[in-house]
Amino acid sequence: MTTIRLLIADDQPATRDGLRDLLSSQPDIDVIGAATDGPDLLDLARYRRPDVVLTDIRMPRMDGLAAIRELATLEPAPAVIALTTFDIDEYVFGALQAGAVGFLLKNSDPGLFADAIRAAHAGQGLIDPQVTRRVVRRFAATSPRPPTPEMSTLTPRETQVLRCLAQGMSNHGIAQNLSITTGTVKIHVARILTKLNLTTRAQAIIQAHRHGLITWHDH
Query: What contacts 24+ positions apart, CB below 8 Å, involve 195-198?
Result: 195/150, 195/153, 195/154, 195/158, 196/148, 196/150, 196/151, 196/154, 197/150
pLDDT of 139 reads 57
Q: What is the pLDDT of residues 49-89, one digit of tens each?
A: 999 999 998 888 888 889 999 998 998 899 999 998 876 66
- What predicted TM-score, i.e. pTM, was given to this entire model? 0.73
What kind and span of H or E run contains 29?
strand 29-35
pLDDT of residue 43: 95
Residue 49, pLDDT score: 95
CATH of domain 143-218: 1.10.10.10
Give the pLDDT confidence score for residue 217 in this predicted structure. 47
Provide the 3-class DSSP secondary structure of residue 214.
coil
pLDDT for the residue numbered 216: 46
- For the chain, the domains span 4-128, 143-218
Q: Which residues contact 198 (CB under 8 A, 6 or more apart)?
A: 192, 204, 207
Instruction: Print pLDDT tens along the chain (219 aa).
Output: 789 999 999 999 999 999 999 999 999 999 999 999 999 999 999 999 999 999 998 888 888 889 999 998 998 899 999 998 876 667 777 787 788 888 888 888 888 899 899 988 987 777 777 776 666 566 555 656 777 788 889 999 999 999 888 877 778 889 999 999 989 998 999 999 999 988 777 778 778 877 777 654 444
What are the respective helix, strand and coil percentages of the chain, to the nearest 5?
Answer: 55, 15, 35
Contacts within 8 Å (CB) and 24+ apart, 62-67: 62/37, 62/38, 63/38, 64/9, 64/38, 64/95, 65/94, 65/95, 65/98, 66/38, 67/9, 67/38, 67/41, 67/42
The CA distance from 68 to 70, in Å, is 5
Domain spanning 4-128: CATH 1.10.3720.10: no
H or E stretch at 183: helix 182-195
Q: What is the pLDDT of residues 169-179, one digit of tens each?
A: 778 889 999 99
